[in-house]
Chains A and B, each alone.
Chain A
């Protein structure tokens, strides 16, 4: 058995799993720990199918991409800004679902700090109007 995750991540996952807003959870190293069903609908994969993913794998799989379709370096996405600067961040980019459909989205990242340690971040995202069948900004 593995050790328990930090409580802040456990509670965050519980919260995300009950949200209808697409959202995912990353650890302090940027590894994708969890995404909820709403995010899964947008990404074309359920968390139960993918499991956890390293930062390199999830960015290669789902993006982000810029408006021209070029990959955005991991250290330039809002999520990474939040992780490294320990502050919230917001930005827009494109992601690609498992079926190859691209969505223009906006994303807000909120760092999770507790017990005097930085543990990771919650990232909530939603499609910009007209780019996908659900949500909208």
Chain B
């Protein structure tokens, strides 16, 4: 299984010289399964450049939306395969009480926010709600689980050919109670992430910033590290960078994260900050300790 980051920014796109290295596009990752099947994790603005890079697509494209906040769906109507009548797109996302997934996405892809309606997309598109469920996509087993964020939000785990990737880009597992005070079963998303070879996880705030954003649905650096440690993941990719964090700032944050991760038993080289166009090969890993 391979993965590529097309957008790692949280909340809002941040183009500009100060964010050029880590990138300003919002959440999107490409996952290529062992048989070549394509999965797309979230449809932030990064999905636009993914669509351009893909060219012609064979077989259905499965897009797994964690939730419908704008930074996770904003690129959908600029995804080139959506305008290819030969393309088949399956969009997965969380269920909600008020309306089916199609209707909730159509609130964005409709007037006055969009010149195109969902029903006008030339591709063959379908919508599926994925709550508490597990299903097959090509050779992979995909599992979805509700996680702590504002509004209905999923994390995903993909298992393929003996490797596993867990994607929880928006997550506040320590809301209300420090992680150290909770047993494993009481930590949101921990079962989903347990033992993953690669965990892609929210690390939007520094520890100093977090108290002013309590309840906004995102993690501090300490909570991201603590969550990954408790889940005993093989490798950690810190994701969903705050729009105020410049490249230089993220360099410093990454250095601090690496130092703390390795001091706490993490294998050297097993933590990175996500940056656009970063290529990853998901390989079986032993737990964190070398």
Residues of A with Cβ closer than 8 Å to B?
Answer: 1-7, 10-11, 13-15, 17-18, 114-117
Stretch of B4-12, B38-46, B104-112, B142-150 with 4 or more beta carbons under 8 angstroms from chain A: B142-150
A2 and B146 contacting across the interface, CB-CB below 8 Å: no
Tell whether B177 is near chain A: CB-to-CB under 8 Å.
Answer: yes
Of A15, A18, A116, the residue contacting B131 (CB under 8 A) is A116
> Can you list 13 pairs linking A and B with CB atoms under 8 Å apart?
A1-B185, A1-B194, A2-B183, A4-B145, A4-B184, A4-B191, A4-B192, A7-B188, A10-B188, A11-B188, A13-B186, A14-B176, A116-B131
B184 and A1 contacting across the interface, CB-CB below 8 Å: yes
Known: A7-B188, A116-B131. A14 touches B175 (CB 8 A): yes
Known: A1-B184, A5-B186, A6-B146. A17 touches B177 (CB 8 A): yes
B190 and A4 contacting across the interface, CB-CB below 8 Å: yes
Contacts of A18 in B (CB 8 A): 176
Contacts of A114 in B (CB 8 A): 146
Residues of B with Cβ closer than 8 Å to A?
Answer: 95, 131-132, 145-148, 175-177, 183-192, 194, 232
B95 and A116 contacting across the interface, CB-CB below 8 Å: yes
Contacts of A4 in B (CB 8 A): 145, 184-192
Chain A residue nearest in CB terms to B230: A1
Known: A17-B176, A115-B95. A7 touches B184 (CB 8 A): no
Q: Interface majority SS on B: helix, strand, loop or mixed?
A: loop
The distance from the CB of A80 to the nearest CB of chain B, in whole angstroms, is 24
Q: How far is the CA of A19 from the CA of B232 in the complex (A)?
A: 32
For the complex of A and B, list the 8 residue pairs with the smallest distance between their C-beta atoms, beginning with the closest.
Answer: A14-B176, A3-B191, A4-B191, A2-B185, A7-B146, A1-B184, A115-B131, A4-B190
Known: A13-B186, A14-B177, A116-B131. A7 touches B194 (CB 8 A): no
The distance from the CB of B124 to the nearest CB of chain A, in whole angstroms, is 27
Of B146, B185, B190, B194, the residue contacting A115 (CB under 8 A) is B146
Q: How far is the CA of A1 from the CA of B186 in the complex (A)?
A: 11
Q: How far is the CA of A18 from the CA of B185 in the complex (A)?
A: 19
Chain B residue nearest in CB terms to A4: B191
B176 and A2 contacting across the interface, CB-CB below 8 Å: no
The distance from the CB of B72 to the nearest CB of chain A, in whole angstroms, is 18
The distance from the CB of A30 to the nearest CB of chain B, in whole angstroms, is 18
Known: A115-B131, A115-B132, A116-B131. A10 touches B148 (CB 8 A): yes
Contacts A7-B148, A14-B176 aside, 13 further interface pairs with beta carbons under 8 A come to A1-B184, A1-B190, A2-B183, A4-B186, A4-B189, A6-B146, A7-B147, A10-B186, A10-B188, A14-B175, A115-B146, A116-B95, A117-B132
Contacts of A116 in B (CB 8 A): 95, 131
Q: How far is the CA of A133 from the CA of B148 in the complex (A)?
A: 36
Contacts of B189 in A (CB 8 A): 4
